[in-house]
Each structure stands twice: as C-alpha cells, then as structure tokens.
Amino acid sequence: MFSEPAREKSIPTVAIAIAAVAVVVLVAVLVVLGRKPSGPPPNTLLPVSAYGDNLMVTNVQMSEAASQIGGKSTYIDGHIANKGDKTVTGVTAQVLFGNDLGMPPQIETVPMTLIRTREPYVDTEPMSAAPLAPGGEADFRLIFENIGENWNQQTPGMRAVQVTTR
C-alpha cells in the first residue's frame, strides 16, 4: 500500500531522434561521395585541343598482354614530337576503336604516359614528370583494359583532346 507505484517503461525519444538524424546525415554523405565526377558521357567525341596540331605522332605500334585473372590489356606505343613553342606537361588522348559492323567506334579517353625504360620491362611515367620541351621528342604508351570484342583489330584513330602546356 505504501510502496511506489510501478513506472511505465517509456521510449527514450531523445536517443531515437539523435540516431535518426545520424542515419540521415550518413546517407547524405554516402550519396554525395558516391556520385561520379561530371565529365563527358562515355563514347562522346571531344574536340581536338588547339595545341594538338603541334604534336606529331609517329611509329605507332600495338600489342596485347593477358593478365593472370583472364583479362587483357591493349597497348599503343609510339613516338611524339613537340613542334610548337610551348612545353607540354600533359596530353589526354582520345582513341577510336573501329569495327566492321557499321556501329559507332568505341571511344576511349586516356592520359598519355611516357616510356621511361624498356628493360627489363616497359616502365612509364606521367608526362608531367618529364615535360616535352619545344622541339622535344619522346616515346609514349597508351594503356587500355576494356576494348570491346567487336573491334576490327585495325590501328585506331588518335586525337589529342587536352594538352597542358606552360
């Protein structure tokens, strides 16, 4: 009779509100971080760089290598010469892999890397590590991992769509 009445268990509303806000913030952060950087849609032909006419590409050779997990890499090696009056610190190349099916070509956009050494294996470095001075020349390599099966195995077309100079 004189004891305290039993208390009803209540839901801790403050703790639930804090947890709900934390979940909403976490989801918002994941959505923002999960967005891909905006850029051209895949297989979009980009305009040629204004300085691209000053770059001469010769001795283009292609090769392939199989990986241990069943994939393959396609390499385009060549020689680039800077015939302009600026030092080139970076080149982004757009490569068009044609087919014989009448479909649009597969378009890949990749940075051009310079070949640093060839022995015991080909080692590359970004062009920014060894800029191409006016009149300078160097060997380059482009690397591709996902060329479609419908590629006709012909030498693809190449264009310099972004050239960084100083």
Q: What is the pLDDT of residues 148-158, one digit of tens each?
A: 888 999 999 99
Mean residue pLDDT across the chain: 87
75: confidence class by pLDDT, cuts 50, 70, 90: very high
pLDDT at 60 over 60: yes
Closest alpha carbon to 157 in 41, 37, 38, 60: 60
C-alpha to C-alpha distances, 122 to 31, 99, 115, 152, 160, nearest whole angstrom = 40, 29, 7, 26, 23
Average pLDDT of the residues in 40-54: 85
Contact 54, 62 (CB under 8 A): no
Percent of the chain with pLDDT over 70: 89
The band of 36, judged by pLDDT with boundaries at 50, 70 and 90, is low
Q: Considering the domain 50-165 in this protein, what is its CATH number?
A: 2.60.40
**CA dist list (Å): 47 to 33, 89, 160:** 29, 19, 9
Residues 18-30 pLDDT 10s: 888 888 888 888 8
Whether the CB-CB separation of 64 and 43 falls below 8 Å is answered with no
pTM: 0.71
What would the pLDDT profile of 114-149 be if each residue is shown by its tens digit?
998 888 888 899 999 999 999 999 999 999 988 888
